[in-house]
Structure formats: C-alpha cells, structure tokens
Amino acid sequence: MKRVLILGGTGDAAKLAARVATIPGIEAIASLAGRTRQPSVPAGNVRIGGFGGVAGLVSYLREMSIDFVIDATHPFASQISFNAAAATAEVAIPRLLFNRPAWEKVNGDRWIEVDDIAAAATALSNQAQRVFLTVGRQELSAFAELESIWFLMRVIDPPSPDTLIPQGLVLCDRGPFALDNEREILIQHKIDTIVSKNSGGDATYAKIIAARELGVKVVMVKRPPTPPGEQVSNIEDAIAWLQDNL
C-alpha cells in the first residue's frame, strides 16, 4: 500500500482526493490548513492544521511513511508550496504541483493587473469609489487606510474583532457563485471596481464575467511564483502522474 499526501483546501483538491482514493493500492490523505471555520472536507482520510514549516512537514512525511505528495493548494498559498518542495527534496519522494490555469483577459475586460495586494490598494487610490473586495479576510487590512472608498468585502468567515478593516459591509458567503448572483451584487451595491486574486477555476469566475458585462473595472492580482518541479493543470494529468510513479 502506497500513501499519497494531498495538500488541499480547494475544490480541485477535494475532487482529486476522491479520485485517488479509488486507485487500488493507494491510501490518500488529504491535508487542510484549517484557516476556515467550517472547511469543505473531502471524503476519506483528512488531516486539518498546519505542519510547522519545512521541519514539521519533513517529520510528518517520515512518520506517516508518505510515498508521494501532490500539492493542490490554492494558487496564492505560495508558502506551503515552497515548504512542500523543500520537504519532499529532503526526504527524497516525488512531488507534483497541481496548478490550475490562471484566468486570461479577454475582449471587454477592463483589468488593471498588479503584482501583489499592496499594489492593488495603491491602484484604487483616486480611481474607485465603491469596491467589491474578494481577496479573503486575511488581506482586508491592506485596504483599511483608503477612507474615501466604500468596500463590500466578501469572505468565507468574518474577520476577527481586532482586525483593522476598511469602511463598508462584510458579506460572508462561500462559492461557487452564479452569474446572476454576481451581476445582482454589482448592480445593487453600485460597484465600480472589483479587486480579485487571479485564482483561476470556475468557482468564482462569474464575478469576472459580470464585471465584463457591466463595464466594471477589475484590479487583478497576479499569482506569486511557484517552486520548480513537475506541474499539471488538470485532475486527469495528476492521476496519470501518480499511476506512472507507482
């Protein structure tokens, strides 16, 4: 019996874990960071919580006799991806990065592409009045000083009471989101700008379509770099990689 650790937290990771669990001779363990209060837990063996950096992950891989690691974390969870690369190199086991395709700008999109969250906040200055902020609760404080802008902040869990957040309204909701829903939000709240990470995938793309339809600007945060190594962009290729390595 071979063991594969799937570093997850995304819908793709949950689907991948379900597929891997059906392969004879494979035991799949899905790991979630536990940053949301009620995470979407995939079927099968699940571990919730951090590892404690590279050293902690190395210890876990050895203790659990892990044979393969598939990193299917969020495209912006770069720290765990680099930790996984370092840890698997130290214990000398194969690692695969599942990196779903980024969204591409198409005709009609009004994107302002920026390198990081700080640059996104800068891009809003004197350019926006009512902003739909969809970058996660951990990034809200970066926009707190923009006092002339009203923000609709969509998050999975509410920010903690001691977190500095910008003025506006907090909306707690979890994707996937329908196009009609996103269009209604933009119209109802008179949104002129969306701030989004380029997460890729279908679950939150409807807001980009709605923005295109309504002529709403999008400040799009580019993805951080990924560690070197083998990458795939879909579940079928990830399954093929695993079977080739058995």
pLDDT tens digits, one per residue of 35-52? 555 555 555 688 888 898
Question: Burial level of 237, CB count in 10 A (0-12/13-18/19+)?
Answer: middle
CATH of domain 2-101+225-245: 3.40.50.720
Residue 147: per-residue pLDDT:
93
Residues paired with residue 134 on neighbouring β-strands, in sequence order: 196
Look at strands 26-32 and 95-98 and give their pairing: unpaired
Cβ atoms of 90 and 54 within 8 Å: the answer is: yes
d(CA 205, CA 144): 25
Burial 14-27 (b: 16+ CB within 10 A, else e): bebbeebbeeeebb
Cβ atoms of 72 and 98 within 8 Å: the answer is: yes
Residue 83: per-residue pLDDT:
96
Per domain, the residue ranges of the chain are 2-101+225-245, 111-221
Residue 102: per-residue pLDDT:
96
Q: pTM higher than 0.75, yes or no?
A: yes
* 157 CB neighbour count, 10 Å cutoff: 13
Which residues does the chain have with pLDDT short of 70?
34-44
Identical topology for domains 2-101+225-245 and 111-221: yes
Cβ atoms of 191 and 131 within 8 Å: the answer is: yes
Q: Which fold has domain 111-221?
A: Rossmann fold (3.40.50)
Name the 3-class secondary structure at 113.
Answer: strand
CA 218 to centroid of chain Cα atoms: 18
pLDDT tens digits, one per residue of 108-126? 999 999 999 999 999 998 8
